[in-house]
Amino acid sequence: MEYRLYNGECRIKSNCCRYASKLNNYDYLSDIADAEEISDYVEVQFKNTRKGYYLNSSKILLEKGDMVAVEATPGHDIGMVTMTGKLVLLQMAKARLRPDAEMRHIYRKVKPTDLEKYEKAKAKEHETMIRSRKIAKKLGLQMKIGDVEYQGDGNKAIFYYIADERVDFRQLIKDLAEAFRVRIEMKQIGARQEAARIGGIGSCGRELCCSAWVTSFVSVSTSAARLQDISLNPQRLAGQCAKLKCCLNYEADMYMEAQRNFPSREIPLETQDNVYYHFKTDVFKNQITYSTDKNFAANTVVIPAERAFDVIGMNKKGDKPKFLLSDNVRQQAQFKEYRDVLEESVSRFDSIMNIKKKNKRRRPNDDRRYKQKKTEVKK
């Protein structure tokens, strides 16, 4: 297998690999001849989660990884080309953008002077964010500025903020414009979007999913945790954004499909002695744990799902089994207990005798040491 680097991306036998960014898509049309010449539209990625689609009206030869200067309001912005060719049209259709609509244009490939301006503007972002937070605090606004992004030419700055309620930031925009001498744009984002922009390490020890590969955020509810029999502990279920972890939805569909092979949790099982209520379900072992109390574990019994269906069928007919476990399972369990007891009763005295023998051997030495210590103390 041959590996070679091609314009910042790895190619294995000329098959295009994925970029190390979550906004890039797998180019499955890379091996098709003339696929990149079908469309003049280009996908351009900017800082973090922002990307856009632009028209290459000048027919500039562009490849993935090229830095380009694109049209902006006002001035120009600088981004990296992440997709070209026919696949861009499919992505535009997915984003509900029409090719016949007015699209912004690509000016040129970046020049050294453009890169210098871009790096200078990028270097000011952190300091600008800290100062803007102080200005918002002086005005008494209930908002948090999470990130700042400068335009490629440095003439405009986008401030990303979080707020629980509606915020009147007209005075804030005036103060920010006076402080930084740039055009100000405010964008409200959610807690999940903020975590995606900032990044970090999750409780699993890996990079946050929202900053690594998740592009669309789906609502997460506690029902996904209940479905998987996860304890409803807020500290365990919440991520760094203080919202429920996105990974709770990953296996929810599998658990929902597996629950079809189990009886309803609301149906109790009746025996001649007790009434058993559902306590927890082990999907992987195909077993259900029942308890004689609804609220906590008491006299728990673990039975397979087939046995639960059998008992429910017997209860519907008016019959009640003597035990919740089947006769075969009970006999196997009793035999196992007897075998364990016999093995333990035969060998349990061996260890005690060995310990006594060892203690007898060590006693003379211990007594001598004790006498020596006692004489030393008296002296």
DSSP secondary structure string, 205-229? SSB-HHHHT--SPPP--HHHHHHTT
Torsion angles phi and psi, residue 358, rounded to 5: -65, -40
The four Cα atoms 253, 255, 256, 260 give a dihedral, to 10 degrees, of 140
Task: Confirm if 305 and 256 have CB atoms less than 8 A apart.
Answer: no
pTM for this predicted structure? 0.64
User: Domain boundary residue among 189, 211, 231?
Assistant: 189
Q: Are residues 95 and 134 in the same domain?
A: no
CA-nearest of 244, 265, 241, 245 to 255 is 265
- Which pLDDT does position 366 carry in this prediction? 52
Q: Are residues 340 and 367 in the same domain?
A: yes
Residue 248 lies in a domain: yes
Q: Are residues 168 and 205 in the same domain?
A: no
* Per-residue burial over 166-178, b = 16 or more CB atoms within 10 Å of its CB, e = otherwise: ebebeebeebbee
Q: Are residues 246 and 270 in the same domain?
A: no
Q: Are residues 11 and 94 in the same domain?
A: yes
- Which pLDDT does position 102 carry in this prediction? 81
Respond yes or no on whether the N-terminal peptide bond of residue 74 is cis (omega within 30° of 0): yes
User: Domain boundary residue among 133, 167, 189?
Assistant: 189
Q: Are residues 13 and 88 in the same domain?
A: yes
Task: Confirm if 49 and 208 have CB atoms less than 8 A apart.
Answer: no
Residue 321 lies in a domain: no
Residue 115 lies in a domain: no
Tokens standing for residue 264: 């309803």
Burial tier of 241 (Cβ tally within 10 Å: 0-12, 13-18, 19+): buried
**Rounded Cα distance, 340 and 326, in Å:** 21
Q: Where are the beta strands (DSSP E) in the chain?
A: 3-6, 9-12, 15-16, 41-45, 51-55, 67-71, 76-84, 106-109, 144-150, 156-162, 183-188, 269-270, 275-282, 287-291, 301-304
**Rounded Cα distance, 135 and 305, in Å:** 62
Q: Are residues 133 and 91 in the same domain?
A: no
Residue 73 lies in a domain: yes
Residue 309 lies in a domain: yes
Domain count within the chain: 5
Residue 113 lies in a domain: no
Residue 152 lies in a domain: yes
Report in angstroms the alpha-carbon separations of 147 from 23, 30, 66, 161.
18, 35, 25, 7
| DSSP string across 36-80 | TTS--EEEEE-STT-EEEEE-TT-----TT-EEEEE-SSSEEEEE
**Rounded Cα distance, 63 and 83, in Å:** 8
Q: Are residues 18 and 91 in the same domain?
A: yes
Residue 142 lies in a domain: yes
Q: Are residues 99 and 126 in the same domain?
A: no
Secondary structure element (H or E) that encloses residue 199, with its range = none
Instruction: Match 């079809």 to its residue by tokens.
Output: 260
User: Domain boundary residue among 173, 189, 205?
Assistant: 189
Give the residues of the chain that fall short of pLDDT 50.
1-20, 335, 338
Q: Are residues 154 and 57 in the same domain?
A: no
CB atoms within 10 A of CB 253: 11
Q: Are residues 17 and 92 in the same domain?
A: yes
- Which pLDDT does position 185 carry in this prediction? 92
Task: Identify the domain containing residue 175 by its residue range.
Answer: 120-189
